[in-house]
Amino acid sequence: MKAVRELLSKEFLQIRRDKRMLPLILLAPVVQVVLLGYAATVDVKNIRLAVYDADRSSASRSYVERFTATGYFTVIGYVDDPRELGAVLDRGGATLAVHIPRHFARDVGTGRPVRLQLLADGSDANTANISLNYAAQITAGYAESIVTERLARIGGINVPRVSAETRIWYNPDLRSANYMVPGVVALILMIITTTFSAAAIVREKEAGTIEQILVTPIKPFQFILGKLLPFTIIGMVEVGLVLGVAVAWFNVPLRGSVALLFGLCGLFILTTLGLGLFVSTISRTQQQAMMTAQFFIFFPFLFLSGFTFPIDNMPPVIQTLTYGIPLRYFIEIVRGLFLKGVGLEVLWPQALALLIFGVGILGLSVAGFRKRLG
Amino acid sequence: MTQELHNEHAVVVEGLTKRFGNFVAVDSMSFNVKRGEIFGFLGPNGAGKSTTIRMLCGLLGPTEGSARVGGYDISTEPDRVKENIGYMSQRFSLYEDLTVEENIRFYGGIYGLEGAQFEERRQWAIEMAGLRGKETALTRTLSGGWKQRLALGCAVLHQPPIVFLDEPTGGVDPVSRRDFWDLIYNLSSEGTTVFVTTHYLDEAEHCNTIGLVYAGRLIALGSPTSLKSKLERYAIYEVVSENPVDAMDLLQKQPWVAETSIFGSAFHVSTDASTGSDAEIRRTLEQGNIGISRIQRISPSLEDVFIQLIAEESEK
């Protein structure tokens, strides 16, 4: 084992000496989690609203005020011509446009049906959908308030009302950050450990030092251990850093056991190091290794793991595919631990899947690496 | 150890073959390397020299055949083989981002050297490579010759009885090349068996035994002197002519000429020793109206041997 220790200390010496590597290892994950924590959000806020008010009454003004009162809408301007609403949407100046017809106040007052027009920029389907939902709720609320007001004026009539009291569990404010940041932790752990371990091995190939080591009595598994152990340690340090940012900066609740989280990170690292080793055996240069990792591992993992798109919304065939993506299980584990605070009693199937993937991928990669040598 | 002591041969190769798909890189090679000698593996690029050395070092498994290095079978006892060899390739496999000292420490550590023994070997390597005072220099800042000597030092830190050097002087200036051969002589004089591949013919002259490799086959084996004596049935003439290209063309057509080849400003003609003569060459060229300024019989160089043997091999 002295040989492994020797390899380890050499590896850390090289990492310390590489002026680009150290900041990359320590700073990049923190920067990434901060950037992604803000950018990877599906919250819809600051919806830009354009208004054409043909009625110019206090009723129409109070209707528009209901939009701004929610905090989600900003009125970017009133237009004088209904055709201009289309132009504003075209320019991307507004996400939503509302057309209030003439006689709005009169019709509301006399109880005639009122037809409003809402125009949404559907090029971003998600935002359009959510904005229209908000707008529909606001309109319904406005209508209800009129009814209640008039009933109150008439007095004495009780209208039966059914209402649902909703409570949202785990992420009551429906903050995107709470959902996305734990996923970002998983993503960073995967990217860092896979690329660094692959690069570290391929670098020895490029320099020819791998041959020099393999003519020594050192065993291939000792070499692999000496190469992968440093990145296991670094991976764990990164998890700590990124967790710190998630909790301290984004106030993401970490409700589950921190020890269990680290333990399961270790389980996931088996898979990522195995993938890194595999990439290193099929790549001759570091560039090749990076490309291979990006296109054949990171992209499919990113899109099929449930990190970006909810798996439940995918067509059945694709959903089946996601079971072959180890990151999928780890994302479920991380979100479960962060938001629900559950433990192994719930997460054991995911943990088991990770164990199987980890042992399988690492085992095959080690075998492949040794075969390449022979 | 006893097995080694009683064994006259450091390397025994029997029918060693390596195929990559349909390509035969090494074609049933058999030869022995005596203990303590400098054994030169000579041949053009792509002849199979490196593949052979890589098999002997346990980096590559043979397709067929067997070999024993230091008394251990390369297929069944690769770990014992690795304990007994040092290996250095043309790439001077050092860590460029580590210092001289750190490289020595790392390779020493991997070979399990410790304490006083390590300290002694460390001093030896620094002294041998001429790097005293440069211990803390980053390896990437060293010139080719220094890197080469440091690489050799790292490869033999554990004092292996057998050293394999794969094109160790590639890309190094002539002075460094000569210095390096002094180091090889030193190793050999201390009893180390040195197995070295090269495509420099002048380097091959320094070897006790030369194996000539061409297209994966060993086409000749022996000391430089004995290889040259293979050309006894040929007489070799050095000719200086104003029109060497036409002269060579013309001579090549004569039945008594075996081979012509250009050598600097002159060219060499190998003739059948019984039928060819300088008078014959002179007469032939005069008939072809090609003037010659000098003709002289010479003793064959290794290059002549090399060219002749490869020509014979190609004809087969």
The pLDDT assigned to A280 comes to 93
Average pLDDT score over chain B: 89
Q: Which of B246, B233, B231 is nearest to B291 (CA)?
A: B246
Say yes or no to pLDDT of B2 above 50.
Answer: no
How far, CA to CA in Å, does A172 sit from each of A140, A166, A176, A247, B88?
23, 10, 11, 17, 65
Domain A47-154 has CATH 3.40.1710.10: yes
What distance in Å separates the CA atoms of residue A144 and residue B116, rounded to the nearest whole number? 92
Say yes or no to pLDDT of B64 above 80.
Answer: yes
Structure tokens at A233: 């340690």
Sheet arrangement for strand B266-272: B257-263, B266-272, B234-241, B292-298
The pLDDT assigned to B1 comes to 42
Say yes or no to pLDDT of A369 above 80.
Answer: yes
The pLDDT assigned to A337 comes to 92
Query: Region A329-340: what's the mean pLDDT?
Result: 93
Out of B59, B89, B98, name the one closest to residue A13 (CB).
B98
Q: How confident is the model at residue A159 (pLDDT cuts 50, 70, 90)?
A: low
Domains of chain B in sequence order:
2-223 (3.40.50.300), 232-299 (3.30.70.100)
The pLDDT assigned to B203 comes to 87
Cβ of A207 and B89 within 8 Å? no
What distance in Å separates the CA atoms of residue B219 and residue A57, rounded to the nearest whole number? 106
Q: CA of B57: which chain A residue's CA is closest? A: A215
Out of A10, A14, A208, name the one closest to residue B93 (CB).
A208
Q: How confident is the model at residue A9 (pLDDT cuts 50, 70, 90)?
A: very high
Q: Which of A220, A195, A206 is nearest to A297 (CA)?
A: A195
Strands (DSSP E) contained in chain B are 9-20, 23-34, 38-42, 64-69, 72-73, 85-88, 162-166, 193-198, 209-214, 217-222, 234-241, 257-263, 266-272, 292-298
Share of chain A above pLDDT 70, in %: 97
Query: Region B239-265: what's the mean pLDDT?
Result: 88
What distance in Å separates the CA atoms of residue B3 and residue B8, rounded to the nearest whole number? 10
Q: Delimit the domains of chain A by residue range.
A: 2-41+175-373, 47-154
ipTM above 0.90, yes or no: no
Sheet arrangement for strand A96-100: A73-78, A47-53, A96-100, A117-120
What distance in Å separates the CA atoms of residue B214 and residue B308, rounded to the nearest whole number? 12
Q: CA of A207: which chain B residue's CA is closest? A: B93
The pLDDT assigned to B4 comes to 47
Say yes or no to pLDDT of B6 above 70.
Answer: no
Cβ of B87 and A211 within 8 Å? yes
Query: Region A48-68: what's the mean pLDDT?
Result: 91
Query: Region A30-41: what's the mean pLDDT?
Result: 81
Say yes or no to pLDDT of B217 above 70.
Answer: yes
Say yes or no to pLDDT of B213 above 90.
Answer: yes
Say yes or no to pLDDT of B198 above 50.
Answer: yes
Average pLDDT score over chain A: 88
Cβ of B79 and A217 within 8 Å? yes
Q: How confident is the model at residue A158 (pLDDT cuts 50, 70, 90)?
A: low
Q: How confident is the model at residue B313 (pLDDT cuts 50, 70, 90)?
A: confident
The pLDDT assigned to A197 comes to 92
How far, CA to CA in Å, does A231 sit from each of A11, A282, A311, B306?
10, 20, 30, 52
Q: How confident is the model at residue B37 (pLDDT cuts 50, 70, 90)?
A: very high
Cβ of A213 and B79 within 8 Å? no
Q: Which of A304, A373, A362, A306 is nearest to A334 (CA)?
A: A306
Report the interhelical angle of A58-69 vs A125-154 (nearest 10°).
130
Q: How confident is the model at residue A100 (pLDDT cuts 50, 70, 90)?
A: very high
Rounded to 5 degrees, φ, ψ at A92 are 80, 15
DSSP structural state of residue B73: E
Higher-pLDDT residue of A194 and A86 is: A194
| Cα-to-chain-centroid distance, residue B301 | 16
**DSSP of B220-273:** EEE-HHHHHHTTTTEEEEEEEES-HHHHHHHHHTSTTEEEEEEETTEEEEEEET
Share of chain A above pLDDT 90, in %: 41
Structure tokens at B185: 């002589």
Contact A362, A273 (CB under 8 A): yes
Share of chain B above pLDDT 90, in %: 55
Q: How confident is the model at residue B7 (pLDDT cuts 50, 70, 90)?
A: low
Say yes or no to pLDDT of A76 above 80.
Answer: yes
Say yes or no to pLDDT of A1 above 90.
Answer: no
What does the pLDDT look like over A240-266, one tens digit per residue? 999 999 899 888 888 999 999 999 999
Residue B34, Cβ neighbours under 10 Å: how many? 14
> To which residue do tokens 């990359």 refer?
A24
Q: CA of A204: which chain B residue's CA is closest? A: B95
Say yes or no to pLDDT of B293 above 90.
Answer: no
The pLDDT assigned to B5 comes to 47
What does the pLDDT look like over B113-128, one tens digit per residue? 999 999 999 999 999 9
The CA distance from A193 to the nearest CA of chain B, in Å, is: 22
What distance in Å separates the CA atoms of residue B238 and residue B266, rounded to the nearest whole number? 7
| Cα-to-chain-centroid distance, residue A160 | 43
Query: Region A114-139: what's the mean pLDDT?
Result: 88
Interface of A with B (CB under 8 A): 2-3, 5-7, 10, 13-14, 17-18, 207-209, 211-219, 373-374
Contact B34, B10 (CB under 8 A): yes
What does the pLDDT look like over A168-220, one tens digit per residue? 787 777 777 788 888 888 988 999 899 999 999 999 999 889 989 989 988 88
Cβ of B87 and A10 within 8 Å? no
Say yes or no to pLDDT of B295 above 50.
Answer: yes
Report the interhelical angle of A326-335 vs A258-282 (nearest 10°).
160
Higher-pLDDT residue of A164 and A91 is: A91
Query: Region A140-156: what's the mean pLDDT?
Result: 81
Sign of the dihedral through C-alpha B165, B167, B170, B176: positive
What does the pLDDT look like over A301-320, one tens digit per residue? 999 998 888 888 899 999 99
> To which residue do tokens 């498994």 refer?
B61
Sign of the dihedral through C-alpha B226, B228, B229, B231: positive
Higher-pLDDT residue of B163 and A32 is: B163
Say yes or no to pLDDT of B242 above 60.
Answer: yes
